[in-house]
Amino acid sequence: MAEADRVVDGALRGIRVADFSRVLAGPYATMMLADFGADVIKVEPPAGDDTRHWSPPVDATGRATYFGGVNRNKRSVALDLTDAAGLAEARRLAATADVVVENFRPGVMARFGLAYPEVRELNPGVVYCSITGFGAGEGAALAGYDLLVQAVGGLMSITGDPDGEPSKVGVALVDVLTGQNAVAGILLALRERDRTGEGRLVEVNLLQSLLSALTNQASSTLATGRPPRRLGNQHPSIAPYAVFRAADRELVIAVGNDRQFAALADVLGLSGLVEDARFRTNADRVAHRDELHETLERALAAASAGHWADALTVAGVPAGLVNDVAEAISFADALGLDAVAETREEDDASSPHRSIANPIRLGGDGARYRTPPPALDAHHGADWLPRG
């Protein structure tokens, strides 16, 4: 069987994805699809996806880990869309794809004749997903960088120390959220195509993905007209729900109701707190959060964070260590979650590529990890183009 006609098992078996996206939101989305059997053909410029060059760090093969984290299970072809031959190949691929994904600025794909109207003429059943920073209207000219969206989208205003500067989240979270929304939109459109035979334009953008993810903070603003303020690691509506210092390191205690608060007080030898007028109800605890925090930390200083996390968990109080990323991966593995996926090069089975596993499980038809992130243009052979 020719490479172009390969069939991969999985829930998305038989779905061909022409992936014109780069960096993070789009590649994250297409990797999620590839993990469940979609044949994702990653179209890259001759120099490759920018993230191929975002190093250090690199893995054992010298591959940039940023690129490696979101591009497993794909094929790579390098096409110069400013060249007539390369553009012709790209159009043929789009004409045979079930799904097209792109995250250029609005208008770029139209200049190549690869925008949704043009592709739909060639391929009426195509599901075309366009990922932008701020939509295709008034915000079309704005650059969709994650940090910028965290700023203008309000996330930085509620992240960080109350007396410090606004802070970004420690990962490009808005890109990841947008990638997840893209996956949901694509699957919705494919389901509709199953019923009608017609394709659909799917549009997601970083700003609306972030606003949607603000959930209770956004709903509070709409209801009261008052935007929330930064509270550091405190919660605006619940206490104690924060980071606390024990004898050796930090832990989180996340009390959500009065029963859990009583159990917390009992474990810490502070049973009298439940009758203290300042802390009797959640509303009381929120009003006196600083005093409560100081009281709890004085008790927590008597033992290690690990001791308290174990004792509180046994008592039914949500608590845990503030792990670094390596500790977090080990913690997930200890829970039997198989947090790490391994793939191997065909010619070098001794050096597996390790990446974080797909979080979606479908039982026996779940995610499958077949191939590591591809080398640039690794699949641009004589038979790479799908038939049709």
- Give yes or no: residues 269 and 192 share one domain: no
Rounded distance, CA 125 to CA 96, Å? 10
126 plus 200 within the same structural domain: yes
Domain-embedded: residue 220: no
pLDDT tens digits, one per residue of 15-45: 999 999 999 999 999 999 999 999 999 999 9
Residue 19 belongs to some domain of the structure: yes
Average pLDDT for the chain? 94
Is residue 201 a part of any domain in this protein?
A: yes
Residues 26 and 163 both lie in one domain: yes
Question: Is 315 in the same domain as 348?
Answer: no
Can you give the CATH number for the domain in which 315 is found?
3.30.1540.10
Give yes or no for residue 252 having a pLDDT over 70.
yes
Are 247 and 273 found together in one domain? yes
Cα–Cα distances in angstroms (integers) from residue 33 to residues 71, 97, 233, 248, 350, in the given order: 11, 14, 34, 43, 27
pLDDT interval class at 349 (50, 70, 90):
low
Read off the pTM: 0.92
pLDDT at 8 over 80: no
Residues 205, 122: one domain?
A: yes
Domain count, the chain: 2
Same domain, 321 and 359: no
In this structure, which long-range contacts are made by residues 272-277, counting pairs with CB atoms below 8 Å and at least 24 apart in sequence? none
Q: What pLDDT is stored for residue 257 in this prediction?
A: 96
Do 98 and 205 belong together in one domain?
Answer: yes
Whether 324 is catalytic is no
Asked, as a colleague might, if the bond just before 56 is cis with ω within 30 of 0, I would say yes
Q: What percent of the chain has pLDDT over 90?
A: 88
> In the predicted model, is pLDDT for residue 55 greater than 80?
yes
378 lies in a domain?
no
Structure-token pair, residue 231: 């509270």
Residue 12 within a domain: yes
Residue 343: name the closest of 44, 57, 59 by CA. 59
Same domain? 325 vs 347: no
Domain span at 70: 3-213+340-365
Catalytic residue among 80, 175, 290, 338: 175
Residue after which a domain boundary falls, among 333, 354, 383: 333
At 383 the pLDDT is 78
Within-domain flag for 68: yes
Domain-ending residue, one of 309, 333, 357: 333
Residue 280 lies in a domain: yes
Asked whether residue 1 carries a pLDDT value surpassing 80, the answer given is: no
pLDDT higher than threshold 80 for residue 264: yes
Residue 202 confidence (pLDDT) above 70: yes
Determine, yes or no, domain membership for 58: yes
pLDDT of residue 319: 97
Q: Could you tell me if 191 and 46 lie in one domain?
A: yes
359: domain CATH number is 3.40.50.10540
Residue-wise burial string across 132-147, b where 16 or more C-beta atoms lie within 10 A, e elsewhere: bbbbeeebeebebebe
Q: Is the domain of 185 the same as that of 271? A: no
Instruction: Please check the confidence at residue 342 and state whether its pLDDT lies above 80.
Output: yes
* 192/285 same-domain check: no
Percent of the chain with pLDDT over 70: 96
